[in-house]
């Protein structure tokens, strides 16, 4: 892993320099210039994808379109009601397309929209980061919990 501009602190974390913070915020200039006040575009998106189920549903639909029952079986632990609520929210935000199929009985298939696929790229990157860094996060939690007692 390559070092960033920041320096390593005594606890092993990389400190972020002011120039790095400005670089990270470059895409949100208007919001930053307003001292982070007003509607928060980040919070709005995180409210949608930051719940317990949305990321899992998006990752699943990123593989292929699926019917409701397929999703219900595939996303372990989700209830029928929560899957319905999650899919409605994702559809409302333009991330998921719902298509009623002309079968008997009628069934519904869900797929990612173009907007949903553009988000999938970032969620996949976050997933890869989580898988790669899970041992460090677990170790940090264990250390923290040991220090807290």
pLDDT digits (tens, 9 = 90+) for 114-127: 999 999 999 999 99
Query: Residue 24: what pLDDT?
Result: 56
**25: Cβ–Cβ under 8 A, 6 or more apart, which residues?**
32
**Helix, strand, coil percentages, rounded to 5, for the chain:** 60, 10, 30
Query: Residue 20: what pLDDT?
Result: 61
Q: What is the fold, at CATH topology level, of the domain defined by 50-148?
A: Arc Repressor Mutant, subunit A (1.10.10)
Q: Is 15 helix (H, G, I), strand (E, B) or coil?
A: coil
pLDDT tops 90 at residue 147: no
pLDDT tops 60 at residue 1: no
pLDDT tops 90 at residue 36: no
Per residue in 54-105, pLDDT tens? 999 999 999 999 999 999 999 999 999 999 999 999 999 999 999 999 888 8
Average pLDDT of every residue of the chain: 83
Packing angle of the helix pair 80-92, 54-61 (nearest 10 deg): 70
Q: Per mean pLDDT, which range of 1-5, 13-17, 25-29 is the poorest?
A: 1-5
pLDDT tops 70 at residue 15: no
Domain boundaries, the chain: 14-42, 50-148
Half-sphere exposure of 22 (CA within 13 A, CB side): 5
User: Model's pTM, two decimal places?
Assistant: 0.71
Say if CB 46 and CB 39 are below 8 A apart.
no
Instruction: Please list the residues that pair with 135 across neighbouring strands.
Output: none
Q: How far is CA 12 from CA 2, 24, 115, in A?
A: 14, 21, 37
């Amino acid at each position: 892993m390559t070092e960033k501009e920041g320096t390593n602190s005594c606890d092993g974390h990389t400190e972020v320099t002011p120039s790095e913070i400005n670089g990270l915020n470059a895409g949100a200039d208007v919001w930053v210039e307003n001292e982070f006040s007003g509607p928060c575009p980040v919070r709005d998106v995180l409210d949608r994808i930051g719940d317990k189920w949305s990321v899992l549903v998006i990752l699943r639909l990123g593989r292929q379109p699926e019917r409701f029952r397929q999703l219900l079986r595939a996303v372990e632990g989700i209830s029928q009601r929560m899957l319905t609520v999650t899919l409605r929210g994702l559809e409302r935000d333009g991330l998921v397309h719902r298509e009623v199929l002309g079968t008997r009985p009628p069934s519904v298939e869900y797929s990612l929209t173009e907007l949903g696929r553009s988000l999938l790229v970032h969620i996949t990157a976050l997933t890869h980061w989580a898988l790669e860094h899970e041992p460090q996060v677990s170790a940090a939690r264990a250390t923290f919990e040991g220090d807290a007692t």
